[in-house]
């Protein structure tokens, strides 16, 4: 547990529950094959605290928890009295009728190997990378080595790393001597000649070479030419893995504390990467080496190289440096368009706290794809125009309500990821709404700060047409599966719903800042978000989180109108769902507290639900 998370845990959670001196370990398994269930939630209603099961289905509960509810995807929820336990193994009843479409999904072997935080990943803690790479644009060939420092968390003689199988492993050195290794798809199992002791600080030097394979949405590692015919080489590997072009422990839960990148390129080109440029070395072979240093923890897919005919301009905002790297021929356009960066940064720091990686600075770097949230090195390819420019035949008005054209979508969205994704990072792909839902909401925060509340609400509601509601926002864990695109659009509509449930903007914005600063540079699961919101706002959001995140459907408010009165109730997947909403009666705004049973109010005038504030269905019956 990172320090920020530990302090949050102490401050918010422990006062709500009894002492953790006596713990009960449960193992949650499925009735289907008696398989351990990772990601099940054990929820204590009294303390409003949830705990998540690990890869082996295990969870530790405090003695102060007396009666808990256990919930797991594809299983019927279970109420459990800990005083009446007869076994520490709890069997959950699998239900094939729940989330049928998602249960039919299958995951290839390479995803399972990548997604599983196995024993040979979990036995060590990354400390640093020192990556050297030479890029030959003409041959489309790379070669290099990565010095990987790590601390052993338990005694063992093997660790697990990742490198795409089409790249060659030239050698892996330990204390100057070659190590034995085995490859399975993109996984590399490295054996040591002796057992490494617990707490030992170790280092290996992993040499590799080959022709990186373009794959994924943006190609991950691409060799292109710019408009003047000069080489332009970039990386963007979210969802495909940085192992496409360099060897590493390609997992979100473990980040190095710092990193060095030494990138050698032909001397008529420049390389721009994460962090700060600390050295430029002219080499004898017509190449120049650019040495970049990152002082903050960084996730692997954020590691980026950008090679091209770059020129630089910049500015500052207090202690924060804002550096811009663009192709020489686009400098004038960039100077006009990038004027949006500074006021955006003012808005984000106002609501989310200080830029998280101030030691490494902030960069916008032109790239041949739309953009990516590389930490301290955000890439940009939106054509130096407002809106979201994905092609001549596609409207740049991203949410279709006119607001998108007031700003450059890529600058605003991708920079939001510096807080949501790079600073606050989910442990697993399955919780990626923590990145994308919150970052999409950051767009609306920017809109509200720059253009006003009404435009922000209009902008958020423009996303409704993009929601599919086919799969739940929480995906299957440990299979490296990117969940539904609803994590962006439904995610921000859900967060907007939470804001209006709280119904107190001063408290909401102070809570958002407490969330982003409290979990700064930390990892978290959805249950950590729930626990924080419960304790900070002194509410029980459990059933609301369950309905919006673990099921594909949104709640439906059934309304029956008669002369002078309205009856209403919730229809939902979650039993006991009881979310408040706002409505207008005769022009006056009122708050309703529906549940799963019919309630009635008198309505002297017209009745309407404020659906722009709450992402729900309203059905007249």
Whole-number percent of the chain with pLDDT over 90 = 93
Q: Tell me if 144 sits within 8 A of 305, measured CB to CB.
A: no
pLDDT exceeds 60 at position 393: yes
* Strand 310-317 to 89-92 pairing: unpaired
- pLDDT, residue 186, reads 98
Residue that terminates a domain, selected from 65, 98, 131: 98
Residues in the chain: 621
In a domain, 277, yes or no: no
Report how far residue 364's alpha carbon sits from residue 344's, in angstroms, rounded to the nearest whole number. Answer: 13
Number of domains the chain contains: 2
Report how far residue 279's alpha carbon sits from residue 290's, in angstroms, rounded to the nearest whole number. Answer: 6
119 φ/ψ angles, rounded to the nearest 5 degrees: -60, -30
Assign 284 a pLDDT band (cuts: 50, 70, 90): confident
Assign 380 a pLDDT band (cuts: 50, 70, 90): very high
- pLDDT, residue 437, reads 98
What are the tens digits of pLDDT across the range 97-156? 999 999 999 999 999 999 999 999 999 999 999 999 999 999 999 999 999 999 999 999
In a domain, 388, yes or no: no
Over range 346-360, report the average pLDDT: 98
Over range 449-453, report the average pLDDT: 98
In a domain, 9, yes or no: yes
Over range 347-358, report the average pLDDT: 98
Over range 431-435, report the average pLDDT: 98
Over range 203-224, report the average pLDDT: 96
What are the tens digits of pLDDT across the range 143-199? 999 999 999 999 999 999 999 999 999 999 999 999 999 999 999 999 999 999 999
In a domain, 80, yes or no: yes
Q: Tell me if 278 sits within 8 A of 451, measured CB to CB.
A: no
- pLDDT, residue 586, reads 86
Tell me the CATH number at 584: 2.60.40
- pLDDT, residue 604, reads 82
Over range 386-411, report the average pLDDT: 96
What are the tens digits of pLDDT across the range 545-554? 999 999 999 9
Contacts 24+ apart (CB under 8 A), 219-228: 219/369, 220/244, 220/245, 221/142, 221/245, 222/368, 223/137, 223/140, 224/368, 226/308, 226/309, 226/327, 226/329, 226/368, 227/327, 227/329, 228/309, 228/327, 228/329
Report how far residue 9's alpha carbon sits from residue 53's, in angstroms, rounded to the nearest whole number. Answer: 17
Which three-class secondary structure state does DSSP give residue 238?
Answer: coil
Tell me the CATH number at 23: 2.60.40.1120
- pLDDT, residue 22, reads 78
- pLDDT, residue 63, reads 84
Over range 294-323, report the average pLDDT: 98
Assign 21 a pLDDT band (cuts: 50, 70, 90): low
Q: What is the DSSP string of 87-126?
A: -SEEEE-B-TTTTHHHHT----HHHHHHH---HHHHTEEE
Residues 6+ apart with CB under 8 A from 169: 163, 181, 183, 188, 206, 207, 208, 247
Packed helices 505-518 and 526-537: angle between N→C axes, nearest 10 degrees: 140
User: Between the CA of residue 602 and those of 590, 606, 615, what are the distances in Å?
Assistant: 12, 11, 24
pTM more than 0.85:
yes
Element (DSSP H or E) covering residue 348: helix 341-352
Residue 594 domain boundaries: 556-620
CA 196, 426, 350: angle at the middle one, nearest 5? Answer: 125
In a domain, 183, yes or no: no
> How are the residues of the chain apportioned to helix, strand and coil, as percentages rounded to the nearest 5?
25, 35, 40
Over range 239-261, report the average pLDDT: 97
What are the tens digits of pLDDT across the range 452-494? 999 999 999 999 999 999 999 999 999 999 899 999 999 999 9
Q: Tell me if 434 sits within 8 A of 529, measured CB to CB.
A: yes
Which three-class secondary structure state does DSSP give residue 368?
Answer: coil
Residue that terminates a domain, selected from 53, 80, 98: 98
pLDDT exceeds 60 at position 505: yes
Whole-number percent of the chain with pLDDT over 70 = 97
In a domain, 427, yes or no: no
Of 69, 65, 96, 97, residue with least CA distance to 82: 65
* Strand 522-524 to 424-426 pairing: parallel
In a domain, 19, yes or no: yes
Averaged pLDDT score across all residues of the chain? 95
pLDDT exceeds 90 at position 13: no
Q: Tell me if 25 sits within 8 A of 59, measured CB to CB.
A: yes
Q: Tell me if 168 sits within 8 A of 208, measured CB to CB.
A: yes
Residue that terminates a domain, selected from 75, 98, 121: 98
pLDDT exceeds 90 at position 9: no
Strand partners, 142: 135, 210
In a domain, 69, yes or no: yes
What are the tens digits of pLDDT across the range 71-88? 999 999 999 999 999 999
């Amino acid at each position: 547990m990172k320090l920020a998370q530990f302090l949050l845990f102490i401050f918010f959670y422990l006062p709500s529950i009894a002492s953790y001196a006596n713990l009960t370990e449960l193992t949650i398994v499925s009735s289907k094959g008696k398989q351990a269930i990772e990601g099940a939630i054990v929820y204590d209603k009294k303390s409003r605290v949830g705990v998540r099961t690990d890869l082996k289905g295990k969870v530790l509960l405090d003695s102060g928890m007396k009666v808990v509810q256990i919930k797991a995807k594809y299983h019927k929820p279970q109420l459990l009295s800990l005083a009446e336990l007869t076994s520490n193994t709890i069997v959950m009843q699998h239900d094939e009728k729940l989330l049928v479409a998602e249960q039919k999904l299958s995951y290839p072997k390479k995803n399972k190997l990548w997604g599983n935080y196995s024993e040979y990943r979990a036995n060590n803690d990354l400390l640093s990378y020192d990556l050297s790479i030479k890029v030959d644009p003409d041959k489309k060939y790379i070669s290099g080595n990565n010095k990987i420092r790590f601390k052993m968390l338990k005694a063992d003689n093997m660790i697990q790393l990742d490198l795409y199988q089409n790249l060659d492993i030239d050698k892996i050195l330990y204390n100057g001597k070659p190590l034995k290794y085995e490859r399975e798809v993109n996984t590399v199992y490295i054996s040591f000649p002796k057992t490494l002791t617990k707490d030992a600080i170790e280092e290996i030097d992993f040499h590799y070479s080959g022709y990186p394979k373009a794959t994924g949405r943006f190609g991950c590692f691409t060799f292109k030419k710019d408009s003047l015919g000069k080489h332009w080489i970039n990386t963007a590997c979210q969802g495909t893995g940085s192992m496409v072009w360099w060897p590493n422990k390609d997992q979100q839960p473990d980040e190095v504390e710092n990193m060095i990148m030494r990138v050698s390129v032909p001397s008529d080109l420049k390389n721009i990467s994460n962090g700060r440029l600390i050295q430029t070395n002219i080499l004898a072979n017509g190449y120049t080496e650019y040495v970049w240093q990152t002082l903050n923890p960084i996730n692997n897919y954020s590691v980026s190289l950008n090679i091209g005919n770059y020129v630089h301009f910049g500015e500052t905002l207090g202690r924060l440096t804002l550096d811009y790297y663009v192709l020489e021929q686009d400098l004038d356009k960039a100077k006009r368009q990038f004027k949006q960066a500074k006021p955006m940064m003012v808005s984000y720091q106002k609501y989310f706290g200080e830029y998280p990686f101030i030691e490494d600075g902030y960069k916008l770097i032109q790239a041949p794809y739309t953009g990516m949230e590389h930490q301290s090195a955000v890439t940009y390819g939106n054509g130096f125009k407002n809106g979201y420019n994905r092609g001549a035949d596609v409207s740049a008005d991203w949410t279709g309500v006119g607001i998108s054209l007031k700003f450059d979508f890529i600058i605003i969205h991708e920079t939001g990821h510096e807080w949501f994704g790079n600073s606050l990072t989910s442990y697993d792909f399955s919780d990626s709404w923590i990145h994308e839902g919150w970052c999409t909401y950051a767009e609306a925060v920017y809109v509200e700060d720059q253009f006003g509340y009404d435009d922000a609400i209009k902008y958020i509601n423009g996303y409704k047409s993009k929601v599919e509601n086919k799969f739940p926002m929480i995906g299957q864990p440990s299979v490296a599966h990117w969940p539904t695109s609803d994590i962006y659009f439904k995610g921000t509509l859900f967060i907007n719903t939470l804001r209006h449930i709280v119904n107190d903007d001063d408290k909401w914005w102070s809570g958002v800042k407490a969330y982003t600063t409290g979990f700064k540079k930390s990892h978290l699961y959805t249950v950590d978000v729930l626990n924080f919101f419960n304790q900070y706002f002194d509410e029980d959001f459990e059933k609301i989180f369950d309905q919006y995140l673990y099921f594909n459907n949104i709640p439906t408010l059934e309304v029956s109108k008669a002369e002078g009165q309205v009856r209403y109730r919730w229809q939902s997947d979650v039993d006991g769902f009881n979310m408040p909403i706002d409505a207008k009666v005769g022009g006056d705004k009122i708050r309703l507290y529906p549940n799963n049973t019919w309630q009635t109010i008198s309505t002297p005038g017209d009745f309407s639900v404020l659906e722009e504030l709450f992402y729900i269905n309203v059905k007249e019956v």
